[in-house]
Amino acid sequence: MNRSLRNPAIFLILAGLALVPGGALGATARQDFAAGLVACDVVAPRDIPALALEILPLAMNAALERIGPPAEPARLELRLLDPPPFYKRFKALVQVEAFGTQMGDEITLYPGKDPLKLAFRLGHEFSHWLVYKRLGRRPPLWLDEGLAQMVAAAAAEKVARTRKQDIERPRPPKLEGHLFALDELIGLQTYPRSAARSAAFYWQAEALVRALEGKLGAEEFAIYLGLLSAPDAPDWQAPLRERWYFTDWDVNWLAEQIRPKTEKLNVQ
């Protein structure tokens, strides 16, 4: 299913990217977005993988469509890393796929070879960066990560459509035994330590953000995001009740949305 570009140089010209050989520093490429408000510099130790240059614009545009551009011109550096040496991967007994971290104006990423996973990871990290650049502060953990998961999914879906691929996001295994109650999820200020609890956190945070955006609508949800990202951010329920007239019933409904749906048995 993977498609590679036979001539990366041609792709760079068509995409409007400038490839600069850097000797020991490797190669760099630049892509501008949002009418020049976003400049993204891609840096790699050697050649920049063609797959990364193909997926980058799709993932960034998916993030911009969901969050919007930064408040003022901003520059982001996307630093692509070579995978660890084979002996280190073998020793760790893990397969290195698309994995990234975002710190300030730099995203560090192992691009991997799976276009959908790469799109998901780029969309996730672009979301964190754009929210911070647009609002000046990061929202609460559940909101920040739930929104990033939504943007990541949108980026992967965009790439899947472009490549005529199917995308599947199975529910994390053993989810039911590690779920958070709504108050617990909202109150988290640090990431869960165990893999199972972490998987539950990301799944539930995304489910909660999707439910909120679906109920408020995209424009009103953007206002809610701004309120909870303010220096004097209110309790998460306060604006929902005061501005959007949420009731206890609505909050209970949200609590139901972060739990897996059970299939109803058709008994005759």
**One domain for residues 107 and 238:** no
**One domain for residues 113 and 24:** yes
- Give, in degrees to the nearest 5, the angle at Cα 168 between 2 and 139: 105
Q: How far apart are CA 206 and CA 257, in angstroms?
A: 10
Task: Report the CATH number that the domain containing residue 52 is assigned in CATH.
Answer: 3.40.30
Going by C-beta distance under 8 Å and a sequence separation of 6 or more, which residues neighbour residue 66?
A: 127, 147, 150, 151, 154
- Element holding 197 (H helix, E strand): helix 195-216
Give domain status of residue 143, yes or no.
yes
Task: Please list the pLDDT of the chain residue by residue as tens digits (268 residues).
Answer: 333 333 333 233 233 333 434 344 579 999 999 999 999 999 999 899 999 999 999 999 999 999 999 999 999 999 999 876 654 444 444 444 446 788 999 999 999 899 999 999 999 999 999 999 999 999 999 999 999 999 999 999 999 999 999 888 888 888 888 999 999 999 999 999 999 999 999 999 999 999 999 999 999 999 999 999 999 999 999 999 999 999 999 999 999 999 998 644 343 4
**One domain for residues 17 and 103:** yes
- pTM here is 0.84
Give domain status of residue 266, yes or no.
no
Q: Is 46 exposed, middle or buried (0-12, 13-18, 19+ CB in 10 A)?
A: exposed
Strand order in the sheet with 27-33: 20-21, 27-33, 38-44, 74-80, 106-110, 99-103
Instruction: From 161, 150, 254, 153, select the one nearest 211 (Cα to Cα).
Output: 254
Give domain status of residue 184, yes or no.
yes
**β-pair type (27-33, 74-80):** unpaired
Residues of the domain holding 196: 172-261
How many structural domains is the chain composed of? 2
**One domain for residues 161 and 223:** no
